Every structure is written in C-alpha cells, then in structure tokens.
Amino acid sequence: MAISCTDPTLPSLISSQTVDSCRSLSTLKQTHAQILKSPAPSPDLSLTTKLVASYGRFGDLGSSISAFNRCGRAPDAFLFNSLIQAHIFNSLFGSALRIYVRMVEDGIVPNRFTFPLLFKACSSSFMISSGVQLHGHVVKSGLESNPFVAVGLVDMYMKNGAIGSARMVFDGMAERDVVAWNALLTGYSQNGMPAEALGVYNGMREAGVDVDFVAVASVIAACSQLRSIHQGKWVHSWVVKNGFEADVVVATALLDMYASSGGLDLAIQLFEEMVIRDLIAWNCLIACCAQNGMIEDAFKLFVEMQWSGLKPNGSSLAGILPAVGRFGALHLGKSCHGFIVRNSLELDEFVVTALMDVYAKSGDLIVARRLFNIMRNKSVVAWSSMIAGYGTHGCGDEALALFEKMQANNIKPNYITYIGVLSACAHGGFIDKGRDYFHRMVHNHGILPRVQHYTCMVDLFSRAGLLDEAMDLIDAMPIEPSAGIWGALLGGCRKHGHVGLGKYAAERLFELNSSDPGFYVLLSNIYAAAGMWADVRRVRSSMRERGLWKPAGWSSIEIGSKVHCFISGDMAHPDTNEIYKKLEEVMEEIGKAGYVPVTKVVLHDVEDDVKENVLKCHSEKLAIAYGLIRTSVGQPIRIMKSLRTCEDCHVAAKLISKVVCREIVLRDAVRFHHIKDGVCTCGDYW
C-alpha cells in the first residue's frame, strides 16, 4: 500500500523511504513537519540523516544544517556523512572538510563512506595538500585496503594531476574491480596521456575485467588524442563485436575520434549509419566539415539537422562560424547571424566572438564592432580578434586605441593579442609605436617574443625602408628566422629597390627549401625593377627547373549568392564583352584623372605599350569592372585577390574609387584595402 507523506492519520509510519520519495522541497518540508508533530520524542538517526541529505539535494543548506543541529541524539558517522555530502552538493568544499575536522574532534570515527566524499571535495576544488593529509588518515584508520576508499584516492590524485601517486595506490590494491580500472583509465585520458590509457585498457582485457561503456568512451577519447586512426579502428571493431555501437554516446565518441584523426570519410560513413543522432553527433560532424574547409557541406548539415527536428545550439554555431570567418564567406556568415536572430538563440560569449570574427575577417568592421560592444563579458579572445580585425583592415589607430582600452579594463594581453598589435603597427607604418609595444610586451607583460612577433617587426622595418634595422633584429634573434621573416625582408627590398640585400634574403629562403613561388617572383621583380634582365631570366629558369610556377592569381567578387572568379586576361566569363567595354571606359576616365601605368611591376622585358596592355587585364581590374556593372550605386565593391595585389592595380583602384564615387574593399593575400575617394587605408604600405 502506498503511503502518502501528508496523510495526517499515519504520522508514526513516516520512514526514511518516505523522505527519499519526496520530489520537491515543499513536499519535503511538509513531511518534515509531520515528523516533528509525531508522538515520538525525536526522530531516529537514520531519518535525520535522510532529511539532512535531502535538504542538501534541494539546495536548502540552511534547513539541512538546522535538521542536523535539532537531531536531539548524539550524531554518528552516517549523520556527519550526510552533512558533508549536502555541502559538497552545494559546492562548499572547504566547509565539507571543516565538518570532517569537527567530526574527528567530536570523537566520531569516519567510515568507508566518509573518505570518498572528502576526496571528491578535494578533487573538485584542487586541494591536493588536504587530499594527501586525508590519505594519511586513511592509512591510520586501516581503511587503505577498502576498494571503495582506494578508488576514491586514485580518482582524487588523478583529478589533481598527481598521476604517480594515483598509480601507486592502484598498484597497491589487493583487488581491483572495474570501477578501479576505470578511474585509472579515465584519469590517464583526462590528463592527456592517451598512450598510458590504452595500456590500461590492454591490461584490463588481459586481466579479464569486464569493459563497460565508461571504459569504452575513455579509450575512444584516448585514440582521438593520439590522432591514431589505426588504434581507433581497432577499438571500433571491438565496440561492434561487443554490441556497444548502438549506444549514441559511444557512437558519437567514435565519430569525434575519426573526425579529429583526419578520417573525415569514416566519420561521415559512421554518421550515416547511426540509428539515433543526437545534437552532439550533428555538431561534431558540422565542426569537422567546417575545419576541413567544407563550409558549404557544414552549412547543409546545419540545415538538415533542423529538418530532422533538432534545434541547433551555441556549439553548432561555434563549430561552423570560425571556418566561415577563415574563408571570408560573408554571405554564409550573414545567414548564420540571421538564423540566430530569427530563432532567438542565446548569444553567448563564444558565439558572439565567433560571429564578430566572421564580420571582421570579411571586411565589415562596423557590424563586428557593434557585436563587440554588446558583449557583456569580453574575454581576451574577443579583444584580441577585434584588435587584429582593425589591424588587417589598416585601421591602425583604432586597433591601438582598443588595445589601450583593453588594458584600462584590466584585461591582460597574451601573445596572440600582441601579434595583432604589432601587425597593426606594421600595416599602419607606426615605427616608434611598434618598437615601444615590442619592448612593453617583453618587459611589462613578460611575454617571450615568438617567431610571429619577430615577423611583424621585420615586416614593420622592411616596409618603412629601415632595412638595416630589420637585418639587425634578425641577427639578434635567439630563434632561427623563418621563411616568413626572410619573405618580409625580401618584400621590403622589392619595395625599396635594394638588390643586394634582396638577393641575400632570397638565398636564405631558398636554403630553407621554400617552395613558395611567390618568393621567386619577388626576387625576379627586384631584378626586373633594376633592369637586370639576365638575372630575371635566371630566376625564372630556376623556377622552371624546380617545377615551380607562378600561381595563377585570381580575383573574385560575390554578386548575390554567386561568386564570380577572374584570372588575368580572362575571356571566359559569359559577360566578357560587357566587362571589357566597361574596363576600357573606366581606364579612360582615370587616364583623364592622371593615371600613369606602373609598368615596372611587369616581369617581361618587353616594350612599355605591351606592358600596359598586360596590366590592363589584371584579374582585380576585371573583377572591379564587373562589380561596377552588377552592383548598385552606393554599395561597396568587395573583391578578393588570391595573391598580393600589384602596385598598378592599387593605383588604378584608388583612382577608380574617386572618379566613380564608389568604395572598393580589396582583400588580398596580405591584408584588406579599404579604398575610398582616392585614398587607401593601407597608406600604400602592404
């Protein structure tokens, strides 16, 4: 017969089970009132123990403590345990340990349930020294051989990163059940020691221990960390053989393992075979496709997931947005943003930061800044990506102002923040500020300069023509200069026509076996500008010998949702006649405004009028012409160029922006150029 806990006719029958069955704080309080009204002088200890624990579970620690204090009998270890447990449940780990101290002072001997609770408190709050002291108490109390206590110890040491101590306790255990093995296995996996975790797994199988879901999930996580498809496949076959594959948690762990080990095909295959796909599985595959550059597939999955009846969450968006930013797919970014707004999804810090990054990387700094401003808790990641956004767009002043503001807000910059700051200085040509920030990074913030910071500084000096200072910095570097550093120096030599140092930088680059044809092109540009045609031919023939070709540069423009791509001298576009007609028209206009072709950028030693014709058909000019035809007045023309844009196209774009009164946003391999009214934000440094 079911007993109602509020039945007034049966007060004496209220038992600890009745307390246990209370599903809400109010029913618990009613039951407690019944107990207090009952004719018995005071409730027995087991009933009080239940009350103390139940109040703790419902988060009413005050009632829990008062039930303990009003017990009316001498408390035993079980009653103390329940008070400790109530405190742990409410994350008051220090108080839990103080209750234990009082328990010992009151002369109550802790039992085998007391210590695992205390270990949990120590691991949740990283109080390893208390954990070590408690280990001593365990030895003194003779509970060391109790498997329940020992497992608690292993787990506590593992969670505090004391792997050696954990192993010692485990090895000293007389009998080990699965729980003990799992504590060791999970501990290794969570401490980033996947090889050891796999070793434990093998040990378990040799010892004939039953492997359960927890162990399987830990082993798969270890394979993900090892990025070992081979080991992963082996565990996968074991999973299938033992009938675990239908479990959605195990299947999702496998999916994540294949995805992070580079087995995208296997991940997709597994996903298709999964009977039940939860949100985690979908998010995992979406993020995996996005990371592998398959953003359109990622977006398709994102839509399909909703057809299947699941609602995307912050993780779904966080998986897709970074890739959208990396590939500058503003259109997709906007779709994601619209989706968030339409579905009133929660804009947590992570999603807003990712979204902000998309806009910043795609050239829409105004929306990026608006998103940055609405963030309540701005992390160092958010500050850094907004600073970097300003830097690459040539808004150096804004970047540095934001950096100062960040410090005024007591946010400590990290090495990534400084990459943004120094690159903003390089792109803006702020030489003194660059030197100053480099100094402050090392001396005020104790950040050891990495190769990226040196690259920014060499770039800064080289662009400004301070080639000696750039070379001095390279000589003084405690780390080996990278290809990027020599490339920056080479770029400076090209800009400032320094043949000797350019040749030296190029030799260092070729020693590093750099197969980037861009560097060969830079060197041949230096020779070409100096009229050293024999050297130009030599560089070009050595490129041919090495099988390096100047990558065919292309420019693209997004019109509506379609991307149009052009190569130099392109005649393949369906609207090609219209495009060349427009181009002729614009070139004539800018000619009147004073345009003189920068012929020195053309490699071939041919007559100037031929060079002019080559220049005229550069891909960015074709894309701009198409933009002028297909976009409406007042709209910025956004062009993406796969290589560093050439000086001539830069000059032409500036003049076009002036004569047709249109803003041109040009993203090249180096940076963004916001060109308006004849002026570019790069200040002609790039």
Instruction: Say how far apart CA 662 and CA 140 lie, in whole Å.
Output: 83
Tally of CB atoms within 10 A around 303: 11
Residue 371: exposure state from Cβ atoms within 10 A (0-12, 13-18, ≥19) = buried
Query: Taking the complex as a whole, how short is the minimal distance between the CB of residue 652 and Zn ion, in angstroms?
Result: 8
Tokens of 129: 């020294």
Query: Taking the complex as a whole, how short is the minimal distance between the CB of residue 365 and Zn ion, in angstroms?
Result: 15
Tokens of 672: 């963004």
* CB of 498 closer than 8 Å to CB of 522: no
Report the residue number, 250 or 586, with the smaller CB distance to Zn ion: 586
Report the residue number, 155 or 648, with the smaller CB distance to Zn ion: 648
Query: Taking the complex as a whole, how short is the minimal distance between the CB of residue 389 and Zn ion, in angstroms?
Result: 16
Angle among Cα 283, 289, 290 to the nearest 5 degrees reads: 85
Report the residue number, 438 or 686, with the smaller CB distance to Zn ion: 686
Report the residue number, 297 or 612, with the smaller CB distance to Zn ion: 612
* CB of 630 closer than 8 Å to CB of 584: no
Query: Taking the complex as a whole, how short is the minimal distance between the CB of residue 325 and Zn ion, in angstroms?
Result: 21
Q: Within a 13 Å sphere around the CA of 608, how many CA atoms are in the beta-carbon half?
A: 5
Instruction: Say how far apart CA 686 and CA 671 lie, in whole Å.
Output: 7
Query: Taking the complex as a whole, how short is the minimal distance between the CB of residue 644 and Zn ion, in angstroms?
Result: 10
| Pairing of the two strands 679-680 and 672-676 | antiparallel
Report the residue number, 493 or 646, with the smaller CB distance to Zn ion: 646
- Kindly tell me the sign of the dihedral angle through the C-alpha atoms of 406, 407, 410, 414: positive
* CB of 451 closer than 8 Å to CB of 479: yes
Angle among Cα 648, 652, 656 to the nearest 5 degrees reads: 170
Query: Taking the complex as a whole, how short is the minimal distance between the CB of residue 686 and Zn ion, in angstroms?
Result: 5
Residue with tokens 């101290």: 101
Query: Taking the complex as a whole, how short is the minimal distance between the CB of residue 244 and Zn ion, in angstroms?
Result: 58
Angle among Cα 120, 125, 131 to the nearest 5 degrees reads: 60
Report the residue number, 176 or 673, with the smaller CB distance to Zn ion: 673
- Which positions lie near Zn ion, rule CB under 5 A? 618, 646, 648-649, 673, 680, 682
Query: Taking the complex as a whole, how short is the minimal distance between the CB of residue 421 and Zn ion, in angstroms?
Result: 20
DSSP three-state, residue 13: helix
Report the residue number, 138 or 653, with the smaller CB distance to Zn ion: 653
Report the residue number, 87 or 621, with the smaller CB distance to Zn ion: 621
Query: Taking the complex as a whole, how short is the minimal distance between the CB of residue 617 and Zn ion, in angstroms?
Result: 9
Report the residue number, 155 or 459, with the smaller CB distance to Zn ion: 459
The end-to-end CA distance of the chain, in Å, is 84
Query: Taking the complex as a whole, how short is the minimal distance between the CB of residue 549 and Zn ion, in angstroms?
Result: 18
Query: Taking the complex as a whole, how short is the minimal distance between the CB of residue 663 and Zn ion, in angstroms?
Result: 13
Position 124, amino acid: S
Report the residue number, 506 or 666, with the smaller CB distance to Zn ion: 666
Phi-psi region of 29 (alpha: psi -120 to 50; beta: other; left: phi over 0): alpha
Residue with tokens 């485990």: 170
Report the residue number, 18 or 619, with the smaller CB distance to Zn ion: 619
Query: Taking the complex as a whole, how short is the minimal distance between the CB of residue 237 and Zn ion, in angstroms?
Result: 56
Instruction: Say how far apart CA 525 and CA 532 lie, in whole Å.
Output: 10
Report the residue number, 271 or 686, with the smaller CB distance to Zn ion: 686
Q: What is the DSSP string of 574-637?
A: TTHHHHHHHHHHHHHHHHHTT----GGG--S---HHHHHHHHHT-HHHHHHHHHHHHS-TTSPE
Q: Pick the closest to residue 457 from 445, 474, 440 (CA basis).
A: 474
